[in-house]
Amino acid sequence: MPRIVGIFEDGSAVEGVVEQLQLNGLTQVTVIGPEQAAEEQAQHLSIMHVPDQQAAEYRRRLQDQRWLLFVQVTALELPTAQRALRAGEAIDIDLLPEGVL
């Protein structure tokens, strides 16, 4: 199953999104706070074999964000997860293909 990631500036917003996701039956949720976010991002870039220039741009874009919220979804659950992330004011939302952490 693919995973969707939402990037947030505010940890309190993440709590509300997690609650909303769980109310909609999406329970495979992982939240990564400021301490782990940079390490997690580097692992994803490495696993996805992102070219160095693209990886540098991706890191630059994410360097100010603090919270990552990963949700494992099926194709049918994807729109629900996207709505919850948008409602929680996610700065960015990306779909990670199957096999990516």
Domain with residue 17: its CATH number is 3.30.70
Domain count, the chain: 1
> For residue 46, is it within any domain?
yes
Q: What is the pLDDT of residues 44-93, one digit of tens each?
A: 666 666 677 776 666 666 665 578 888 999 889 999 999 999 999 888 88
Alpha-carbon distance 26 to 44, whole Å? 22
Domain containing 27 equals: 3-96
Distance between CA atoms of residues 94 and 3, nearest Å: 9
Q: Kindly state whether residue 28 falls inside one of the protein's structural domains.
A: yes
Whether 101 is covered by a domain: the verdict is: no
Could you report the per-residue pLDDT of 16-52, keeping only the tens digit for each? 999 999 999 998 998 887 767 666 666 666 666 667 7
